[in-house]
């Protein structure tokens, strides 16, 4: 899998990244550590060398699982992790980074990201300049190679960029959730900021495996995802039926088609989570699917069946 530049940094990433929220177990059901380790290992063996995690995923458990899977091939992979909204004061950022370094069993993090803007989830508001000062210090020390942000609007992104170079934005982005295109994407294109799309398969909806009658376990975060509810779910089924013939033309799955569409968008890369090694291998093959401009436009139009009826809420979940 051919690597791409991460923003203006020296870090190279794969266009499809391995997402490991599920490896933290919290807010997911039916996750086994052994399966997570096997899936992460399979990602690297199949060309997905960039691994995305966060301190909040199971309170460090995901980071530890990543280390268990990959510590012996650390020099061949890129680690991206995040500091949560409750650790954005200067000293808290430094301490959080040190914890992540320990969890990941490494002496540097390729990409360190602010997970949510200050004040999210009723956390204390910390001036972005203070947080960025800490991140810049970590970069000067060599503990991190690049700085990124996640769940930031264009306004938040522009403010952060006043105090240091931002190399990536991690927004929710998929064929069924495209709000970043109207907000921060133009700024990212203009300033060479990589977009690392999370939930690029709309938390599994774009795989076609969930019909309108599906009910999630209340402990599964997808039970609160508005895409899986009511009118949105009905529209998604209609869109999926229109996508199937395109996938058949390319002899690929709906998931592979959706990932191929996303990594064809400007500056865009896809963070695809997976529970099993088989899912990871399938995700990796999406990089081989080549779509024409006409097909990209056709897929765009199909996606609008879902997206044209969404409100302005930036968060997928009804939390």
Residues with catalytic roles: 57
Residue 112: enclosing H or E segment and its boundaries? strand 109-114
Handedness of CA 101, 124, 218, 212 (dihedral sign): negative
CB atoms within 10 A of CB 309: 10
DSSP 317: B
Beta-bridge partner residues of 80: 52, 111
Q: Could you tell me which of 312, 310, 307, 316 has the C-alpha nearest to residue 238?
A: 307
Distances (CA, A) of 224 to 227, 297, 308, 316: 9, 30, 20, 8
Q: Residue holding tokens 């508005």?
A: 226
- How far is the C-alpha of 117 from the C-alpha of 224, rounded, in Å? 21
- Whether 65 and 75 have beta carbons less than 8 Å apart is answered as no
Distances (CA, A) of 132 to 77, 91, 120: 25, 12, 17
Measured N-to-C along each axis, helices 230-249 and 254-262 cross at an angle, to the nearest 10 degrees, of 90
- Whether 184 and 232 have beta carbons less than 8 Å apart is answered as no
227: Cβ–Cβ under 8 A, 6 or more apart, which residues? 176, 177, 202, 203, 205, 233, 236, 306, 316
């Amino acid at each position: 899998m051919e690597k791409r530049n991460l923003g203006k940094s020296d870090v190279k990433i794969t266009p499809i990244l391995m997402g490991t929220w599920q490896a933290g177990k919290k807010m997911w059901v039916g996750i086994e550590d052994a399966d997570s380790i096997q899936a992460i290992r399979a990602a690297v063996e199949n060309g997905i060398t960039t691994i995305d995690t966060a301190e909040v995923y199971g309170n460090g458990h995901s980071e530890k699982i990543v280390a268990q899977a990959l510590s012996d091939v650390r020099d061949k992979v890129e680690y991206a992790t995040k500091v949560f909204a409750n650790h954005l004061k200067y000293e808290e950022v430094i301490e959080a980074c040190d914890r992540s370094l320990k969890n990941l069993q490494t002496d540097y993090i390729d990409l360190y990201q602010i997970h949510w803007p200050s004040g999210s989830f009723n956390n204390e508001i910390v001036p972005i300049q203070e947080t960025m000062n800490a991140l810049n210090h970590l970069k000067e020390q060599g503990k991190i190679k690049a700085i990124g942000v996640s769940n930031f609007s264009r306004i938040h992104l522009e403010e952060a960029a006043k105090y240091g170079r931002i190399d990536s934005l991690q927004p929710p982005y998929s064929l069924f959730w495209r709000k970043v295109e109207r907000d921060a994407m133009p700024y990212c294109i203009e300033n060479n900021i990589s977009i690392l799309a999370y939930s690029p398969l709309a938390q599994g909806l774009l795989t076609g495996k969930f019909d309108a009658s599906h009910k999630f376990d209340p402990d599964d975060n997808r039970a609160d995802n508005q895409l899986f509810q009511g009118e949105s779910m009905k529209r998604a089924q209609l869109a999926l039926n229109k996508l199937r013939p395109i996938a058949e033309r390319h002899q690929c799955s709906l998931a592979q088609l959706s990932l191929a569409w996303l990594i064809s968008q400007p500056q865009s890369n896809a963070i695809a989570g997976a529970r099993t090694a088989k899912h990871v291998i399938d995700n990796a093959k999406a990089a081989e699917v080549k779509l024409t401009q006409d097909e990209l436009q056709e897929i765009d139009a199909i996606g609008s069946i879902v997206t044209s009826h969404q409100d302005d809420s930036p968060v997928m979940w009804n939390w």
